[in-house]
Amino acid sequence: MNQLSKITAAILAGGLGTRLRSIVPDKPKVLAQISGRAFIEYLLDQLASAGTTTVVLCVGYKGEMVQQHLGENYRGMKLLYSHESAPLGTGGALRLALPQVASESMLVMNGDSYCEANLGSFAAWHAAQNSPATLLLTQTDDTRRYGRVDDDACGKIVRFQEKADTSGPGWVNAGIYLLNRAVLESIPAERVVSLERETFPAWIDRDLRGYRSEGRLWDIGVPDAYAQAQNEFVNAISKPRLS
């Protein structure tokens, strides 16, 4: 059986999308249109192609629109919904969704970015490392927008550098994670928690790992990136470079 068929996936789709509001004023940014389709559909296609069977959508701002658009099933995958009554951040959203996760680990994706990674290879590497948490990393020409992630020869993450402190080429967080249930349960409940600024830096001493992928990273979080995705994204992913 495909390893990912046993792992519940979660998509973080609850962001307010304030930076994109001038272009997408009336809907959550995961429903922003790229070549006539909602962006989140491309993420779901990636999960379905990798063999995922269950996905939890962590929704917040206008989350009912996401549920109405997608329904309860997508390409044979069961869709569940975890609704935030107030913004909880990326970590808080996952902690809220945990009761809906039946598996011992969770595959997490940011709802406003897409990386052309081979998710099956990512899951196999995570299992082989026996790590409680693995981030998928991708290389970019300029790390200033994302912040840099430094890892050692064994793939152990040793440092996160803030966006303002980095420049030039390097490895960045691609917004895809495999997190074991025990580390998810350690996230404080019912308060705002950021995975990127709070949780991951605190987990460096807990054998946090980074899986390097050569896949390209796309996001729609700001107007310039959204415009670039409109022009290039669909044609680019039709010829993926997977690793």
Return the domain boundaries, the chain: 3-237
User: Are 171 and 148 spatial neighbours (Cβ–Cβ below 8 Å)?
Assistant: yes
> Does the structural domain 3-237 have CATH classification 3.40.640.10?
no
Burial (CB count within 10 angstroms: exposed 0-12, middle 13-18, buried 19+), residue 222:
middle
pLDDT above 70 covers a percentage of the chain that reads 93
**How confident is the model over 119-133, as a mean pLDDT?**
93
User: Are 146 and 193 spatial neighbours (Cβ–Cβ below 8 Å)?
Assistant: no
Q: What is the pLDDT of residue 187?
A: 94
Q: What is the pLDDT of residue 163?
A: 75
Span between the terminal Cα atoms of the chain, in Å:
21
Q: Where are the alpha helices (DSSP H) in the chain?
A: 39-49, 63-70, 89-97, 119-129, 181-185, 200-202, 223-237
Q: What is the pLDDT of residues 143-171, one digit of tens each?
A: 888 889 999 999 999 999 877 677 788 99
For residues 96 and 219, give the distance between their C-alpha atoms in angstroms, rounded to a whole number.
25
243: pLDDT strictly greater than 60: no
User: Are 108 and 119 spatial neighbours (Cβ–Cβ below 8 Å)?
Assistant: no
